[in-house]
Amino acid sequence: MTGSTTQRDREYLQRAIELAGRCPTSTAAFSVGAVIVDAHGAVLATGYSREGDPREHAEEAALGKLTPDDRRLGGATIYSSLEPCSTRASRPRSCTELILASSISRIVFAWREPDLFVDCQGAELLRAAGRQVVEVPDLAHLVRRTNGHLLKS
């Protein structure tokens, strides 16, 4: 785990994990939830995979509810049940790119994206760009359970 977590971090991350349970099931994509919280702890937006259309990712759905220049994003944290994608076939911009295009400074996630579909480098790219990245692996089992339909051999 990089960086420290608070009880509040864990609560928002668990909320993101719960949102992932709302995702329409897909055999070609993970079920992910995301919560964006400002520096004062106010929830700015939430999203989950396939919320608005079948190709939508959770971080994309949450970020799409805010304007890119929203001042509240400065110092904000995005909580995602899964590591933000760094490559995707369904859209030209990855969730990592969308986060980097915002002023969100901190990313907290529970489970590193397994290489089932792509080789994800989201955490590394975000760190390299100077963002604080925190992984909370003791909650990863909850995300794996939500995505169990993809993990069965």
Tens digit of pLDDT for each residue in 88-130?
777 888 999 999 999 999 999 998 776 756 667 889 999 999 9
pLDDT of residue 5: 82
Residue 137 belongs to some domain of the structure: yes
CB 109 within 8 A of CB 79: yes
Answer whether residue 2 shows pLDDT above 60. no
Answer whether residue 87 shows pLDDT above 90. no
Q: How many CB atoms lie within 10 A of CB 111?
A: 23
Residue 125 belongs to some domain of the structure: yes
Per-residue pLDDT, averaged over 131-146, amounts to 94
Total domains in the chain come to 1
Spatial distance between the Cα atoms of 87 and 92, rounded to a whole number of angstroms: 9
Residue 16 belongs to some domain of the structure: yes
Percent of the chain scoring above 70 in pLDDT: 94
Average pLDDT, the chain: 90
CATH of the domain at 47: 3.40.140.10
Residue 139 belongs to some domain of the structure: yes
Per-residue pLDDT, averaged over 44-54, amounts to 95
Residue 30 belongs to some domain of the structure: yes
Catalytic residue among 51, 56, 59, 113: 59
Residue 2 belongs to some domain of the structure: no
Residue 1 belongs to some domain of the structure: no
Pairing status of strand 106-111 against strand 33-37: unpaired
CB 61 within 8 A of CB 90: no
E runs forming strands in the chain: 33-37, 43-48, 77-82, 106-111, 132-135
pLDDT of residue 153: 52
In which domain, by residue range, is 102 found? 7-151
Q: Is position 59 annotated as part of the catalytic site? A: yes
pTM score, two decimals? 0.93
CB 57 within 8 A of CB 85: yes
How many residues appear in the chain? Answer: 153
pLDDT of residue 1: 43
